[in-house]
Structure 1
Amino acid sequence: MIFSKVIDLYALSRLHKNRSGEFQYTSLPSSIPNVSEREAFYEVNPIDILFDIHNSEKDYKVGRFEFQSLISSGDPTNDHLQGEAYIRNEDAPNIIFVHGWRQDSFDRLKKIFHDRMGNLGWNMYYFTLPYHFQREPEKSLYSGEYMISANIPRTLISVRQSIVDLRALIKWIKDNKKGPVVVIGISLGGFITNLVATLESQIDALVSIFYSNRLSYSIWNTSPGKFIREDLEHHGVNYNDLIKYWRITEPSEGIPKINKDNILLISAKYDQYVHIEDADYLWESWGKPTRYVYNCGHAGIVLNRKKIATDTLLFLQNKIKG
Structure 2
Amino acid sequence: MFFSKIIDRLALYDLHRKKSKGQHFSTFSLGTIARDEFYKSNVADVSIILNKSRKNNMVGTFSYESLIPSGDLVNDTLKGEVFLNKNDIDKPNVIFVHGWRMDSYDRIKNIFHHRIMNDLGWNMYYYSLPYHFEREPEHSLYSGELMISANIDRTVESTRQAIVDLRAFIHWIKANKTGPVILVGVSLGGWITNLMATLESQIDVVVSIFYANRLSYSIWNTIPGKFIREELEQHGVTYEDLIRYWKITDPSQAMPKVNKDNILLISAKHDQYIHIEDADCLWERWGKPKRYLYNCGHAGIVLCRKKLALDTLSFIQEKLKR
Bin the TM-score by the shorter chain: over 0.9
Q: Which amino acid aligns with 1:92?
A: K
Q: Which residue of 2 aligns with 1:59?
A: 56
Q: Is the CA contact 1:32–1:244 (under 8 Å) kept in the aligned structure 2?
A: no
Q: Which amino acid aligns with 1:110?
A: K
Q: Which residue of 1 aligns with 2:99?
A: 100
Q: Is the CA contact 1:93–1:321 (under 8 Å) kept in the aligned structure 2?
A: no
Q: Is the CA contact 2:42–2:171 (under 8 Å) kept in the aligned structure 1?
A: no
Q: Is the CA contact 1:33–1:245 (under 8 Å) kept in the aligned structure 2?
A: no
Q: Which amino acid aligns with 1:57?
A: R
Map 1:159-178 → 2, pairs under 5 A: 159-178=159-178
Return 5+ residue gaps in structure 1 as ranges: none
> Equivalent residue of 2:292, what SS?
strand
Q: 1:10-51 CA distances to partner (integer Å, 9 max, x unpaired)?
A: 00000000000112112x1234454xx000000001221001
Q: Which residue of 1 aligns with 2:155?
A: 155
Deviates more, 1:271-280 or 1:85-94: 85-94
TM norm structure 2: 0.98
Q: Which residue of 1 aligns with 2:65?
A: 68
Q: 1:70-96 CA distances to partner (integer Å, 9 max, x unpaired)?
A: 001111110100001000013110000
Q: 1:65 to 1:260 in 2, by over 3 A?
A: same
Query: Are 2:9 and 1:12 equivalent residues in the alignment?
Result: no
Q: Is the CA contact 1:19–1:141 (under 8 Å) kept in the aligned structure 2?
A: yes
Q: Distance in 2 between matches of 1:193 and 1:43?
A: 16
Q: Which residue of 1 aligns with 2:249?
A: 249
> Equivalent residue of 1:231, what SS?
helix
Total equivalences in the alignment = 319
Q: Distance in 1 between matches of 2:104 and 2:182?
A: 21
Return 5+ residue gaps in structure 2 as ranges: none
> Equivalent residue of 1:319, what SS?
helix
Q: 1:84-134 CA distances to partner (integer Å, 9 max, x unpaired)?
A: 100001311000000000000000000000011112000000000000000
Q: Is the CA contact 2:82–2:126 (under 8 Å) kept in the aligned structure 1?
A: yes
Runs (4+) of structure 1 exceeding 4 A deviation are none
**Among 13, 17, 41, the residue aligned to 1:44:** 41
Q: 1:172-216 CA distances to partner (integer Å, 9 max, x unpaired)?
A: 111100110000000000000000010000000000000010000
Q: Distance in 2 between matches of 1:106 and 1:278?
A: 26
> Equivalent residue of 1:45, what SS?
coil
Q: Distance in 2 between matches of 1:10 and 1:318?
A: 37
Query: Are 2:208 and 1:208 equivalent residues in the alignment?
Result: yes
Q: Which residue of 2 aligns with 1:142?
A: 142
Aligned sequence identity (%): 65
TM norm structure 1: 0.98
Q: Distance in 1 between matches of 2:89 and 2:241?
A: 47
Q: Is the CA contact 2:256–2:286 (under 8 Å) kept in the aligned structure 1?
A: yes
